[in-house]
Chain A
Amino acid sequence: MTIGVLIIAAFMIIPLVIGFFAATKSTKTSEDFFIQGRGMGAIAVFFTVAATWWSSFAFLGSNATFYTNGPVYLTALAWNLLFGFMYYWVGKRVWFLGKRFNYITASDLLGDFYNNEKLRMIVAGILLVFTIPYLQIQLTGGAYLIEVASGGVIPFWLAALMFYFIIVTYVWVGGIRAVAWTDIIYGALLFFGMMYAGYYISQHVGGPSGLFEGLLATSPEHLTLPGPQGAMGYPMWFSLFAVTAIGAFMGPQIWLRMYSVKSGKLFNLMPFLLGFAAIAYMGSLLAGFTGVLLEPGLANPDQILPVMLMEYAPFALASLILAAGAAAAMSTANSQIHAISTIVTMDIYKRYQNPKASQESIIKVGRWSLIVFSLIAYVMALVVPGVLVTIGIAALAGTAQLLVPTIGAISWRRAHPTAAIWGLVVSIAVVLLFTFVPVLKNPLGFHAGVWGLLINTVLFIGISLMLKRTDKEVVSRFDTARNEYNKLYHPELVDGEIDTKREAL
């Protein structure tokens, strides 16, 4: 018990120390607080992107899904690769435009390219509304793990409070630099925890080979789609792949991690690193499947890993692995709180309330909004129950819709603001309807987010082809920027780009 509390204490204190050290490197500017002055190096970029997008959804939710629904979560291997590829293909272009035009948020880029204030507000609204529930599940997952790892000494409400106190403190003093540096520790711990937990637990049923033979004999439906409950067939296989990767990629915390990067070349390596990291899910597969043999019929599947660790592992090891799970939650929560604070400060306060705000007052508003939104998520975690993966996917379905206008902005000169607005408004309505109205839930088995993306794309392309942009100076400014990008990174395309431009004019 004492060891468990000591591990939790170390887990809480180390990030604080790192955060305060990071603060000594900070300059007192909003660009440094929100995007590290666009100077983040390779190691920090990889760990902060990976640890930010691997959350309690990944650590607890993956085990729970393998445990209850069979192999559908294996699609995570492909969604990690898709996420990595988008980080290279879309992220590098977003980074370039951000550096060229001084963007900090998603609304900055989309609002500027589409030259439309309404769209700017819609984007900020979508990101705020759909990120808060995802933040709430980090708190729920992380606090639960701290409660278990401490042997119940720290109750859920106090664990959640400590969880946020620590995060708000180091983000307050160090901004995104503190977040990225602590993410290096969190990331290493969470990948180790996921892999080792599965390997260790599966030894109780004869290792991986014994586990699969045992499952084949007792519950073979766990080894193929649609899983033991018959609910997770191909439509959900594809839905999880598309909605999780795109929704997480379009989250405000990942936008900041596109803008923060020091050099365009760093994007080239990320698809490989982020794709390779997916092997950690094999640990979740082993743990979830072992649970089917050792702990069948658990009421709350999200608790399968903690329950098994407490029963089959030495307390110190169990606490360490559960701390790794809490690291997965904290490394996502710290980035989300910071990203929400950025949206409130830059997209609302600086844009509409105080356009001439000083650097000092911008940082001050950013810091206080950390506290306000942490409190909202804390209250939600105490009063809103729910399954981690269900809430997580619903939240990701909303943010995923931003991919359509984003790809339009970075690659298509005809992309029209009216098309972007209607695409977003209708697709968000579809996501909400197909998620919350029982008779409309998941038509043909595909998740609401997939239908949203489909309708969004059709509307976006259709309306853009019907209308013509009249703000030629904005279109031409982006043409020039895209041409500069191609000259630097895809020189083989430059002549063609100029031809296309001439044709269009």
Chain B
Amino acid sequence: MFKRYPKKKKILYSLIILCFIVLETPLILLANTTEPFVLGMPFFLFWNLVWWFVLTGLFFIGYMINWGSAEADS
């Protein structure tokens, strides 16, 4: 299935999966520290906000490019 996706859809889905891997596998524990404080907040909070921002941005790009499909609708 994934093999047949258009290139931009493959890239989009791969980046989304990568972001979820960073946020929700034990990799998140690498950022589980208070120092350094960035923008006045502990590093763990900052790290989560950065990846949330990236993923939300990818979802917006997904909307803009029709989620990479060549997409229609009574």
A residues near B (Cβ < 8 Å) are 71, 74-75, 77-78, 81-82, 84-85, 88, 208-209, 212, 216, 220, 223-225, 234, 237-238, 241, 263-265, 268-269, 271-272, 275-276, 278-279, 285, 488-493, 496
Would you call A71 and B44 a contact (CB within 8 A)?
A: yes
Question: A357: shortest Cβ distance to chain B, in Å?
Answer: 27
Q: Tell me the chain B residues, 30-65 only, with Cβ under 8 Å from chain A.
A: 32-34, 37, 40-42, 44-45, 48-49, 51-52, 55-56, 59-60, 62-63
Question: A170: shortest Cβ distance to chain B, in Å?
Answer: 30
Would you call A81 and B55 a contact (CB within 8 A)?
A: yes
A237 to B27 alpha-carbon distance, docked (Å): 12
B residues near A (Cβ < 8 Å) are 1, 4-6, 16, 20, 23-26, 28-29, 32-34, 37, 40-42, 44-45, 48-49, 51-52, 55-56, 59-60, 62-63, 66-67, 69-73
A to B contact number (C-beta, < 8 Å): 111
Which chain B positions have C-beta within 8 A of A223?
A: 34, 42, 44-45
Which chain B positions have C-beta within 8 A of A276?
A: 56
A265 to B28 alpha-carbon distance, docked (Å): 34
What's the dominant secondary structure at chain B's contact region? helix
Question: A456: shortest Cβ distance to chain B, in Å?
Answer: 19
Question: A400: shortest Cβ distance to chain B, in Å?
Answer: 15
A216 to B71 alpha-carbon distance, docked (Å): 51
Which chain B positions have C-beta within 8 A of A237?
A: 24, 28
Which chain B positions have C-beta within 8 A of A269?
A: 63
Would you call B42 and A272 a contact (CB within 8 A)?
A: no
Which chain B positions have C-beta within 8 A of A212?
A: 37, 40-42, 45
Partner of B24 from A78, A209, A263, A491 at Cβ < 8 Å: A78
Residue of B nearest to A267 (CB): B67
Would you call B63 and A271 a contact (CB within 8 A)?
A: yes
A193 to B11 alpha-carbon distance, docked (Å): 38
Which chain A positions have C-beta within 8 A of B5?
A: 492-493
Which chain A positions have C-beta within 8 A of B44?
A: 71, 74, 223-225
Question: With contacts A74-B48, A78-B52 known, what are 19 further pairs, Cβ within 8 A?
Answer: A71-B44, A81-B52, A81-B59, A84-B59, A208-B40, A208-B41, A212-B37, A223-B44, A234-B26, A234-B28, A268-B62, A271-B62, A275-B55, A279-B52, A489-B71, A490-B71, A492-B4, A493-B4, A496-B4
The 10 closest A-B pairs by CB, nearest first: A209-B40, A77-B52, A272-B59, A271-B59, A496-B4, A223-B42, A488-B72, A78-B23, A275-B56, A272-B60
- With A492-B4, A496-B4 as known contacts, state yes or no: A264 contacts B29, CB within 8 Å: no
Listed by A's residue number, 23 A-B pairs whose Cβ atoms lie within 8 Å are A71-B45, A75-B24, A78-B20, A84-B59, A212-B37, A212-B42, A212-B45, A224-B33, A225-B44, A234-B26, A234-B28, A268-B63, A271-B59, A271-B62, A272-B62, A275-B52, A488-B72, A489-B71, A491-B70, A491-B71, A492-B4, A492-B70, A496-B1
Which chain A positions have C-beta within 8 A of B1?
A: 493, 496
Would you call A77 and B73 a contact (CB within 8 A)?
A: no
Which chain A positions have C-beta within 8 A of B62?
A: 268, 271-272
A134 to B56 alpha-carbon distance, docked (Å): 28
A237 to B1 alpha-carbon distance, docked (Å): 31
A50 to B67 alpha-carbon distance, docked (Å): 21
Which chain B positions have C-beta within 8 A of A263?
A: 73
Partner of A241 from B24, B37, B66 at Cβ < 8 Å: B24
Would you call B16 and A85 a contact (CB within 8 A)?
A: yes
Residue of A nearest to B31 (CB): A224
Which chain A positions have C-beta within 8 A of B51?
A: 77-78
Which chain B positions have C-beta within 8 A of A272?
A: 56, 59-60, 62-63
Which chain B positions have C-beta within 8 A of A489?
A: 69, 71-72
Would you call A224 and B34 a contact (CB within 8 A)?
A: yes
Which chain A positions have C-beta within 8 A of B70?
A: 490-492
Residue of B nearest to A225 (CB): B32
Which chain B positions have C-beta within 8 A of A492?
A: 4-6, 69-70
Residue of A nearest to B66 (CB): A268
Which chain A positions have C-beta within 8 A of B67?
A: 88, 268
Would you call A264 and B63 a contact (CB within 8 A)?
A: no
Question: A43: shortest Cβ distance to chain B, in Å?
Answer: 16
Question: B16: shortest Cβ distance to chain A, in Å?
Answer: 7
Residue of B nearest to A488 (CB): B72
Would you call B73 and A488 a contact (CB within 8 A)?
A: yes
A496 to B6 alpha-carbon distance, docked (Å): 12
Question: A295: shortest Cβ distance to chain B, in Å?
Answer: 21
Would you call B20 and A490 a contact (CB within 8 A)?
A: no
A279 to B69 alpha-carbon distance, docked (Å): 28
Would you call B20 and A82 a contact (CB within 8 A)?
A: yes
Would you call A275 and B20 a contact (CB within 8 A)?
A: no
Partner of B59 from A74, A85, A238 at Cβ < 8 Å: A85
A209 to B46 alpha-carbon distance, docked (Å): 12
